[in-house]
């Protein structure tokens, strides 16, 4: 049973996580001021991230990125968030970029925990809003964190419900369905989120079809809002959304209540 379970774990993880250990760009390439951040998880894996402050009174966005590439591939997006006065802390999961270790589902959650503790401490010290943002797979981390920790708001983009839903869409070979609904399970956790949630989803997303995003939205408690990005697929949401996308992003954060306590 143990060997079979381990084999299934490896199979699922090979279909979900696509780490790139090579940083393609640096913040300096975009003219961005930043802090190099090193974290240690509870299982003693060293993680790397970048912190981009937007000012002492400006909100902090904990950016949980998607399943491929690494933090260096999100710098254009980060630059546009900074232009809206939103500070960003982005980190790499284990095995991605300069972070050590090998990515697993369990490690994915431990990495998110470590990043959250850093971001929460910084936001609390500066008395600024903390918003957790997750795109695609990163939305699973965002829901996980917001379901058990304190934050002022959550933004989910192109996020799926659980592995079972994705297996039905994409796995090219039969995978036992039993228990898959509990793997990378945002659907089972989202009801515990107490902060307001803003959803973005492209109506031409062929990786996570918009109906799956709507299912996650329907399960979420109030307050919540679903924004359909007309014409957008899975990886071009903020590009096709343009200025209206970033305006809505910024307005959601601006309208959140004052920062929650520690």
Domain ranges of the chain: 2-254
Which architecture, in CATH terms, is 2-254?
3-Layer(aba) Sandwich (3.40)
Check residue 178 and give its pLDDT. 58
Among 117-126, 180-189, 190-199, which stretch is predicted with the lowest mean pLDDT? Answer: 180-189
- Is 6 a residue of the active site? no
Which of the residues 92, 111, 126, 205 is marked catalytic? 205
Report yes or no: 213 and 201 within 8 Å, Cβ to Cβ.
yes
pLDDT at 176 over 60: no
Q: Which of 48, 65, 201, 234 is catalytic?
A: 234
Please answer whether residues 52 and 88 qualify as being in contact, where contact means their C-beta atoms are separated by less than 8 angstroms.
Answer: yes
pLDDT at 1: 44
Catalytic residue among 126, 136, 152, 201: 136
What does the mean pLDDT of the chain come to? 93
Burial class (CB in 10 A: 0-12, 13-18, 19+), 218: exposed
- The pLDDT value recorded for residue 174 is 53
Which pTM value belongs to this model?
0.94
Report the pLDDT averaged over residues 127-140.
98
Q: Cβ neighbours of residue 142 under 8 Å, at least 6 residues apart? A: 62, 64, 132, 133, 134, 154, 155, 156, 159
CA 196 – CA 23 distance, rounded (Å): 33
234 is catalytic: yes
Between residues 171 and 1, the one the model is more confident about: 171
User: Which residue(s) pair with 35 in the sheet?
Assistant: 51
List pLDDT tens digits, range 31-54: 999 999 999 999 999 999 999 999
Q: Is 236 a catalytic residue?
A: no
pLDDT of residue 206: 95
Is residue 152 predicted with pLDDT exceeding 50?
yes
User: Regarding predicted confidence, which is higher, 200 or 178?
Assistant: 200
């Amino acid at each position: 049973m143990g060997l079979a379970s381990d084999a299934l774990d490896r199979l699922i993880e090979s279909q979900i996580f696509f780490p790139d250990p090579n940083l393609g760009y640096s913040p300096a390439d975009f003219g961005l001021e930043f802090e190099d951040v090193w974290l240690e998880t509870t299982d003693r894996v060293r993680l790397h991230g970048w912190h981009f402050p937007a000012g002492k009174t400006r909100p902090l966005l904990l950016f949980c990125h998607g399943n491929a590439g690494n933090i260096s591939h999100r710098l254009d997006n980060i630059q546009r968030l900074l232009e809206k006065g939103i500070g960003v802390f982005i980190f790499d999961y284990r095995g991605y970029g300069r972070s050590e270790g090998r990515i697993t589902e369990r490690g994915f959650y431990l990495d998110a925990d470590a990043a959250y503790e850093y971001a929460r401490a910084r936001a609390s010290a500066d008395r600024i809003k903390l918003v957790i943002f997750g795109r695609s797979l990163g939305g699973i981390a965002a829901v996980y964190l917001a379901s058990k920790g304190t934050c002022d708001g959550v933004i989910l983009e192109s996020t799926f419900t659980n592995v079972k839903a994705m297996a039905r869409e994409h796995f090219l070979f039969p995978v036992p369905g039993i228990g898959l609904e509990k793997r990378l399970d945002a659907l089972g956790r989202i009801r515990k989120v107490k902060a307001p949630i803003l959803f973005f989803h492209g109506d031409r997303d062929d990786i996570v079809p918009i109906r799956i995003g709507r299912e996650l939205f329907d399960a979420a408690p109030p307050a919540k809002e679903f924004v359909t990005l007309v014409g957008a697929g899975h990886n071009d949401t903020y590009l096709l959304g343009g200025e209206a996308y970033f305006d809505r992003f910024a307005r959601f954060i601006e309208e959140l209540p004052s920062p929650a306590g520690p």
